[in-house]
Amino acid sequence: MVELVLTLNDRSGKYAQHAGVVLASIFSNTQQTVNVHILYDETLTEENKLKLTQLTEGFNHNIYFYFVSVPEDMIQASAQVHKIDHWTVASMYRLLLPNIIPAEKVIYLDCDIWVNLDINELWSTDLGGHYLGAILDQGQNLDEYFVSMGLNGAVYFNSGVILFHLDNIRNKPGWYEEMLNFLRNYPMTTMPDQDVLNSLYASNYLQLDQRFNTFAHQGLDPENKIVHFAGEDNKWWDEQSPAAPLYNSFLAMTPWAGAFTPAPAPTVEPQEDAVASQPPVNTPEPPAPEIQHLETQHVEAPHTEARHPENPAPESTDPLPVVPVTFQPQIPVAPVKRKRRRSLRVRLRPRLRKKRETRVRYRSLRKVRRRVHRQPLSRRKTLQYAVRKVPVVRKKTVYVIRKAPLKKSTRYLKRSS
């Protein structure tokens, strides 16, 4: 039975559809039963979750959902990483697979993948004592970048298609702390998840045939290959892409196309909190060993909740419920930008302006009066100092002194406008 993992952060509402197309390409080429594990956050809607369930069960496979929260220490370690917001939160979930998926090994796939072979060919690869199996990255020459990140460019692999041996990783002492230390020590990393995986496992991984992760390019023969539409400008769901008709053909096999008629699917209940008293959920694999070196995370290993040794999985195709995950720390979701209310000062701006102008006029008038009374008595007896308003820029008023012939008593200040 093939264990397959997809991760979803569906802020745009379209990524679940892309995941459905990936699954449709797998199901159309694979005869063996596939257990699909979906790692998601609150951005995945119940409607899309139900469509993924309908798609999987319509092809007689199994699906499990894991609500994932990134641990607080990982959030703090990645807070200074410059490119962390450029990638989706779901890209970091693959780093936590040993803590979440209750299986010996799993296949991880990005959602910009076209599987044009029987996925069991990749699944049947014997990893032996290796941590994972992956394919050398086919990107441009980045030797200077690899050196700056402390990585070996000769063995640098791409993280879009990976066969993880989770038990071997769990037996690696300090793997979780090494991951956090890389994020702390190299905040200039441009591909955080891929660089972390290479830093931890590049020294002991199995290089797979390139046909299991071939980058899409013009003139490519896709026969018996897993084609990866890597790069932001090379997605096969773009309308201008040459592979768009192929994408639409698999889309027609999913519930996102109007003509899809799936098998009856169970009602998916949202699982916000995973409590210890919740009844155990059966899965088709035996219980995974406990992870002792994760005590410093202050979280419980999710697989202890997802399985129970006293309840082995029955050989049945009955609908399976959602599998909860007991990660307690919250996901570092970008804060919602709320509309700022106009401050009281802004709302009272006209009234404040009027008061300010009044104070300016009053100060100016007092200044003129002081200047008048500072004149010698002989001058005040011969001249009359009157105050005249002079409008200036910004509707301010300035008071000036004007000399005029003496007509009345100089003891009083005459104001003229």
The domain locations on the chain are: 2-306, 344-415
* C-alpha to C-alpha distance for 196 and 13, rounded to whole angstroms: 28
Whether the CB-CB separation of 143 and 211 falls below 8 Å is answered with no
Task: Please state, in angstroms and rounded to a whole number, the distance separating the CA atoms of residues 1 and 3.
Answer: 7
* Residue owning tokens 């080429």: 29
At residue 368, what are phi and psi to the nearest 5 degrees? -65, -40
Class of CATH domain 2-306 = alpha beta
This prediction has a pTM of 0.63
Rounded CA gap, 170 and 302, in Å? Answer: 13
pLDDT of the residue at 35: 96
Distance CA 365, CA 387 (A): 8
Task: Give the CB-side neighbour count of residue 30, counting CA atoms within 13 A.
Answer: 28
Q: What is the pLDDT along the chain (417 residues), one digit of tens a residue?
A: 999 999 998 888 889 999 999 999 999 999 999 999 999 998 999 999 999 999 999 999 999 999 998 888 888 888 778 765 555 666 788 899 999 998 999 999 999 999 999 999 999 999 999 999 999 998 777 888 888 899 998 999 999 999 999 999 999 999 999 999 998 999 888 888 899 999 999 999 999 999 999 998 888 899 999 999 987 777 899 888 889 999 999 999 999 987 665 443 333 333 333 323 223 333 334 333 333 333 323 333 333 333 333 344 444 444 434 444 443 333 343 444 444 555 555 556 677 777 777 776 666 666 766 766 677 766 655 555 555 544 544 555 555 556 555 555 555 555 544
Give the C-alpha separation, 297 to 307, whole Å.
21
Which tokens is 415 given?
A: 């104001």
How do strand 383-391 and strand 397-405 relate by DSSP bridges?
A: antiparallel
Rounded to 10 deg, the angle between the 15-27 and 46-58 helix axes is: 0
